[in-house]
Structure 1
Amino acid sequence: MRAVGVTEFGGPEALHLLDVPEVHAGPGEVRLRVTAAAVSPTDTYARNGTYAQRPGAPQEMPWIPGMDVAGVVDEVGEGTDTPLSVGDRVMGIVVPVGAHGGYREQIVLPAASVAPVPAGADDAAASTLPMNGLTARLALDRMGLAPGQVLAVTGAAGAFGGYVVQLAKVDGLVVVADAAEADRELVRSLGADVVLDRGAGFADAVLDRYPGGVDGLADGSLQGAEVARAVRDGGVVTTVRGYRGEDDALARGVRFEPVMVRDYAQNAAALDTLRAQAEAGEVTLRVADVLPAAEGATAHARLEAGGVRGRLVLQF
């Protein structure tokens, strides 16, 4: 079967079509015939070799990126307890390890990592939901804010930030989000109550409006200490790159919650709830463009050039 990956780490041009062996579902697993795979910033770290430097990471080639897929169930492992059947249209989250990534025509996943495609959504749109939607859900669950409390969100126009905004509103939170001028209407449409300029002045603008600081912060744009100062004493910050805070924030009792989506990668109930929320219009599936799988290098180059809103999707 075909896959898109690298046999040598490098820039976008390192991605190319590969032939890889067929795989089969075992107990507790299902196999998908993949039709769409979303392209995310984390995929670039698989491509350029960053993830291969982690302790215990496999060193063999190829490396195949991709954490989000959609397609059709074409095999259910023996004894697998799942409501899914062969022929069902589904979406799934992939925890990639070396060659096990989503940019491929066929993939085996734990049945708990797969849920039906939202009604009315095509496969490209469905493939944009699992990883970022689950990361946003995990972030909000770890923060544990109560309805009526105030959450600040950086990177609100991005996939993770956008889902945080929408899910926070469903949870009854007041949302203060950042946006560039060109993204203000988008972020408002996602439900943000207050939209402030993105960048170095965001924390000061938040503190001008909420002098005691906000209750929580989802730091999707990785600004760290610069924006953590906008959180009140005893508040909470959730981060997506392992950031655990600076001494001054920790001294104020600010709690830092780094989130790793692998912790929710087999949370079938959370993924199915996201499906239902997409069907209800509570979360928005945003596709920037759909490209043939053979144009994976082009997709990565466009992503790294910046300014992409929504997800680029590879089509098999």
Structure 2
Amino acid sequence: MRAAAFTKFGGPEVLRAMELPEPHAGPGQVRVRVMAAGVQHYDCSIRSGWTPSYGVTVSFPQIPGNEFAGIVDEVGEGVTGFPVGSEVLGFSILNSYAEYVVVGADQIAPKPRSMSWEAAGGLTGNGQGAHIAFKAIGVGPGDTVLINGAAGSLGSIAVQLAREWGAGKVIGTGSEYNHDYIRSLGAEPITYEEGLADRLRRLAPDGIDCAFDTAGGEGLEAAVELVADKSRICTFYAYDRIEELGLRIVRGERTAARLAELAELHVQGKLSLHIRQVFPLERAADAHRAIESRHGRGKIVLKVNGYEYIR
């Protein structure tokens, strides 16, 4: 099968297209013919040599990628509810930048017909990440919520979830170029500039209840200064500063049920995913360069198999 993989740690240049053996579904598993795979900073960290502390084993050649959408084409013993031909979206810690990925049947959910392959392939990681973060910090009705990095793929989903969960006011940091986009999501935009904490005080005179950081820098510093209860601050960016700032590590389990909930919000028009750029699988390295630039809005996705397969 075609895949984008790396045989040593390093920059985006180590990620290249290659031919690798096809995986096959075992008991309790399905094999998915991947239509689209989302690109995340997590993937770039794995490629660069970072190993998560929760049992991930990297072996060369290693295929990165932890979110995908596609069509079930093999079903293992004991699997029900997902016959061959089912359109699904799903998650896996590794191995999604490939024509085929094998996962447990509990790692996929039905793909709504109204959802594009690009949106389905790019929703599962950032969508569940924002959901997990908000459960941890207790976002709820009436809260004033600060989203640091509101125009990115993770931040933009977080803004929409905050509104859906009843937040009274959502404030999103971002460059002035992205302010109209941030407003369209339902947040009040504010620029990254000196004096951010003072400007946030004027924008939220009654205080900020909780904050979700996806960008670090001044936005995270301001959150630590302004949110009284530090347990209601979550960073998915500045992991190296968590202990220094007195924050807690937030972890959670991605689940098919959570993924199905997010997909339903998309169907209802309550959760959209802006696609910034789509790269072919062979240009996965360019996709990593683009996401590591930390510029632009929305999601970067790899197109893996030709959509004409089912269209």
| TM superposition score normalised by structure 1 | 0.87
Q: Measure, in 2, the Cα distance between the counterparts of 1:234 and 1:286.
A: 31
Amino acid at match of 1:183: N
1:56–1:117: structure 2 CA closer, same or farther, 3 Å change rule?
Answer: closer
Kindly indicate whether the alpha-carbon contact (under 8 Å) linking 1:225 and 1:246 is maintained by their aligned counterparts in 2.
no
> Quick check: 1:278 aligned with 2:276?
no
Residue number in structure 2 paired with 1:20: 20
Unaligned runs of 5+ in 1: 251-255
Residue 266 of structure 2: SS of its match in structure 1?
Answer: helix
Quote the residue 2:249 is aligned against.
Answer: 258
2:65 aligned with 1:66, yes or no?
yes
2:180 pairs with 175, 180, 185, which one? Answer: 185
**CA shift in 2, pair 1:216/1:78, >3 Å:** same
1:42 aligns with 2:31: no
Alignment counterpart, residue 207 of structure 2, candidates 192, 209, 213: 213
| Pair 312,56 (structure 1): closer, same or farther in 2 beyond 3 Å | closer
Whether 1:149 and 2:143 are equivalent positions in the alignment is yes
Q: Indicate if the aligned counterparts of 2:150 and 2:182 stay in contact, CA closer than 8 A.
A: yes
- Offset at 1:172? 0.4
How far apart, in 2, do the equivalents of 1:14 and 1:93 lie?
A: 23
Which amino acid is the alignment partner of residue 162 of structure 1? S
Residues 236-287 of structure 1 deviation map (CA, whole Å, 9 limit, x = unaligned): 101214453546xx5xxxxx44334xx332x211100111101111111221
Shift of 1:211: 4.3
Aligned-partner residue type, residue 183 of structure 2: R
SS of equivalent to 1:175: strand
Tell me the amino acid that sits aligned with residue 24 of structure 2. H
Size of the aligned set, in residue pairs, is 299
Q: Which has the higher strand share?
A: 1
Structure 2 counterparts to residues 95-244 of structure 1, below 5 A: 95-96=93-94, 101-173=95-167, 174-192=169-187, 194-211=188-205, 213-223=207-217, 224-233=220-229, 236-241=232-237, 242=239, 243-244=241-242
Counterpart position of 2:82? 84
Q: 1:270 to 1:233 in 2, by over 3 A?
A: closer
* AA matched with 1:75: E
Amino acid at match of 1:83: G
Alpha-carbon shift at residue 31 of structure 1 (Å): 1.2
Q: Percent identity?
A: 36
Identify unmatched segments of 5+ residues in structure 2.
305-311
Aligned residue in 1 for 2:307: none
When structure 1 is superposed on structure 2, of 40-49 and 224-233 the one drifting more is 224-233
Post-superposition offset of 1:138: 0.6
Residue 293, structure 1, aligned to residue 289, structure 2: no
Q: Following TM superposition, by how much is the alpha carbon of 1:170 offset from its aligned partner in structure 2, in angstroms?
A: 0.5
Alpha-carbon spacing, 1:90–1:201, altered in 2? closer, same or farther (3 Å): farther
1:200-232 Cα shifts (integer Å, max 9, x gaps): 433222222334531100111123444311212
Query: 2: distance between equivalents of 1:233 and 1:49?
Result: 34
CA distance in structure 2 between the aligned counterparts of 1:291 and 1:209, rounded to whole angstroms: 39
- Out of 280, 283, 290, the position equivalent to 1:302 is 290
Distance 1:234 1:102 in 2: 35
CA contact (8 A) 1:287 1:311 kept: yes
Distance in 2 (CA, whole Å) between partners of 1:59 and 1:304 is 21
| Distance (Å, rounded) in 1 between the aligned partners of 2:243 and 2:185 | 28
Contact 2:31 2:101 in 1 (8 A): yes
Residue 92 of structure 1 aligns to a residue whose secondary structure is: strand
Q: Equivalents in 1 of 2:186, 2:279: separation in Å?
A: 29
- TM-score (normalizing by structure 2): 0.89
Residues 146 and 226 of structure 1, relative CA distance in 2, 3 Å threshold: closer
Q: Distance in 2 between matches of 1:112 and 1:83?
A: 11
- Tell me which residue corresponds to 1:253: none
User: Whole-Å Cα distance in 2 between the matches of residues 244 and 147 of structure 1?
Assistant: 27
In 1, the alpha carbon distance for the partners of 2:48 and 2:159 equals 30
How far apart are 1:91 and its partner, in Å?
1.0
CA distance in 1: counterparts of 2:270 and 2:54, whole angstroms: 39
Q: Contact 1:202 / 1:227 at 8 angstroms: preserved in 2?
A: no
Alpha-carbon distance change, 59 to 280 in structure 1, aligned in 2, over 3 angstroms: closer
